């Protein structure tokens, strides 16, 4: 890897014991030393999106936009609620439609195997129309070892860790190829 690589990881679940957040924390543990995976932990603090506020966005929104700008890539891991994307995640994405931080941004979609096909498809559609650079090799379904897998169970499971590492490599390859 030629240069430092920083990934912003966003979980679509606010739940304390979220499997999606656990996947992202496991990803953080599995990343090589020169690849920094940082979780965005303020999804719940973003106000409801309102175009009237876009000219002078609230501080939490500015921070979210800046965190995306200063990241080389994004990973989004999300559950599905009622066949849709969780409102808090869609709300966060709405805040960066007009400001454009996602345009061209290498982006990975993570999900749990056999769960949430509608939300994954909907997220793909939203990210595509926002012109994010969806990296197919980094869009993965993770077969969790159990219903309530812990971070270390995911990180040490041979199948999960291998799938996650391969996705990270795909993101890094994309970044290196396109950053000169
Ligand atoms: C309100 C609600 C609605 C849900 N709707 C769906 C659904 O439509 N499809 C699905 O596959 N799972 C659905 N689920 C299950 C969650 O997606 C699943 O529990 C997921 O693991 C939660 O992610 P988390 O562990 O990261 O919080 C729903 C869960 C809740 C709480």
Domain count, the chain: 1
Residue 176 in this model has a pLDDT that exceeds 70: yes
Pocket test for ligand 1, best of 79, 83, 111 (most atoms within 8 A of CB): 79
Output the pLDDT for position 114. Answer: 86
What is the pTM assigned to this prediction? Answer: 0.96
In CATH, what number is assigned to the domain containing residue 139?
3.40.50.360
Q: Which domain range does residue 125 map to?
A: 5-178
Please tell me what DSSP assigns to residue 70: T
Strand ranges, E, within 33-165: 35-39, 73-77, 106-112, 133-134, 140-142
14 CA closest ligand 1 atom index: 27
Ligand 1 within 6 A of CB of 13 = yes
Residues 6+ apart with CB under 8 A from 16: none
Residue 77 in this model has a pLDDT that exceeds 80: yes
Output the pLDDT for position 180. Answer: 54
Ligand 1 within 6 A of CB of 78 = no
Distance from C-alpha of 126 to C-alpha of 78, rounded to nearest angstrom: 14
- For residue 121, report the phi and psi dihedrals to the nearest 5 degrees: -65, -40
């Amino acid at each position: 890897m030629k240069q430092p690589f920083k990934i912003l990881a966003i979980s679509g679940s606010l739940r304390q014991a979220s499997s999606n957040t656990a996947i992202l924390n496991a990803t953080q543990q599995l990343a090589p030393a020169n690849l920094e995976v940082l979780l965005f932990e303020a999804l719940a603090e973003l106000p409801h999106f309102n175009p009237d506020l876009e000219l002078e966005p609230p501080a939490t929104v500015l921070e979210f936009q800046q965190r995306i700008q200063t990241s080389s890539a994004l990973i989004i891991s999300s559950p599905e609620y009622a066949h849709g994307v969780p409102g808090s995640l869609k709300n966060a994405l709405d805040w960066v439609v007009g400001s454009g931080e996602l345009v061209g941004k290498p982006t990975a979609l993570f999900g749990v195997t056999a769960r949430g096909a509608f939300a994954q498809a909907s997220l793909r559609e939203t990210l595509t129309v926002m012109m994010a650079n969806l990296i197919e090799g980094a869009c993965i379904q993770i077969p969790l070892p159990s219903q309530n897998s812990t971070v270390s169970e995911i990180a040490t499971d041979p199948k999960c860790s291998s799938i996650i590492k391969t996705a990270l490599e795909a993101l890094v390859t994309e970044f290196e190829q396109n950053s000169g």
